[in-house]
Amino acid sequence: MAKKRKNDTRLDPFATAVGSSSLDALLEQANAGDVIRMPAPSDPNREITLVCKVIAHNEIEKSTQVYGKNRRVQALLNEKSVSDILPAIKEDGRNQHPALLWDQGDMSLVLAGSRRRKACILAGADYLVLSSSDFTDQDAKVLAVSSDQYIAPSLWELGQAYQQTRDELIQQGKKGSYREIAVIEGVSHTAIADAIKAYEQISADVIALYPTANHVGREVAKKLINAKERDEAAFNELVVALASNDEVNALEADDKRAMLITKYLTAEPKTALKREAVLENDFISVQRNLKSGDVSIKINNKVMTDKRLEQLTKLLSAFN
């Protein structure tokens, strides 16, 4: 069984230590058929009863879907983004650490474990879950945040989540400012602004070009946004061309591929010539500024005799 990663708080402002988590230990010990009781995520005074069961691999997509406010964008999940858990799940034939599901009859909502769900689908493995109908909307919202503790959502995904928070604030008659969102989310208003701007300015098509969404951090996002603002039409053309670029797609190293994609999309355009050569030889250079029309003359001192300088001075003095 693959070891769980320590959470990476460099990107995820919501991540909390899991080493001593009682819930984590509880889930670790669950086996199919077990009935488990635990405090509700949003109210420790309320108890939830969960049943541990196995969903066959060919039933996962039919019987489950991910909770709508989960902070991880499911369309961006791929083999690369679940590569830390995929080999173990393939080997074991199922995930060992059960996901949490909200049983709603014919369909169950995945509240925690969307990456495990995707890995099971890719591996053709069964999906071990703890399911309960006792969850509430508030429980689901809490788990949507806390379930991202192992691999943090990307900047772009956080931007989508923060945008949803802003929309909710506006619906409540508030401004939905970055500072208001920051109070709710528990991060700085600068982090909120960077994430929302990345989500608003960078399309999902661009994010999908990268091995994983986490390869687009703050610095990369700023470069992409600047390149788009510089020339949006040219930027969009590069995005389309990059999708079928064999040189880039052939790279197996994720970091190198991500760097090449960023370089390709954000390269500064070559500066257009501002001057044209009117006369060029070994001794004389005459150039004209294409914008202003001004002419500059450069003469090699090897051929600029006193006599020629005198003649040139008389010629130029006649200009007015």
HSE-CB at 10 with a 13 A cutoff on CA atoms is 6
66 pLDDT more than 90: yes
Rounded Cα gap, residues 183 and 180, in angstroms: 5
Q: Where would I find the H helices in the chain?
A: 22-28, 60-63, 86-92, 114-123, 137-146, 155-171, 178-185, 189-201, 204-209, 218-230, 232-242, 246-249, 254-266, 306-317
By 3-state DSSP, what share of the chain in percent is helix, strand and coil, each rounded to 5? 45, 20, 35
pLDDT value for 125: 96
Average pLDDT over residues 154-171: 92
117: CB partners within 8 A, 6+ apart: 60, 64, 66, 99, 110, 127
Token look-up 């500064």 returns 268
Rounded Cα gap, residues 96 and 292, in angstroms: 72
Average pLDDT over residues 119-147: 89
pLDDT value for 8: 32
pTM for this one? 0.62
48 pLDDT more than 60: yes
* Amino acid letter, 140: A
20 pLDDT more than 60: no
Confidence of residue 30 (pLDDT cuts 50, 70, 90): low
Asked if 295 contacts 278 with a C-beta cutoff of 8 angstroms, the reply is yes
Cα torsion 268, 269, 270, 274: sign:
negative
The domain ranges of the chain are: 22-152, 202-266, 275-317
pLDDT in tens, 245-302: 888 877 778 888 899 999 999 988 766 567 788 888 888 888 888 888 888 888 888 8
174 pLDDT more than 90: yes
Q: To the nearest whole number, what is the mean pLDDT of the chain?
A: 84
Q: Which residues pair with 286 in a beta bridge?
A: 279, 297
Rounded Cα gap, residues 31 and 66, in angstroms: 22
Share of the chain above pLDDT 90, in %: 48
pLDDT value for 272: 59
Looking at 9-23, 61-75, 182-196, which range is the least confident one? Answer: 9-23
Asked if 127 contacts 117 with a C-beta cutoff of 8 angstroms, the reply is yes
Asked if 145 contacts 158 with a C-beta cutoff of 8 angstroms, the reply is no
Rounded Cα gap, residues 172 and 160, in angstroms: 19
CA angle 99, 100, 105 (to 5 degrees): 120
3 pLDDT more than 80: no
pLDDT value for 149: 55
Query: Could you tell me which residue, 26 or 158, shows the higher pLDDT?
Result: 158
Average pLDDT over residues 217-237: 94
234 pLDDT more than 50: yes
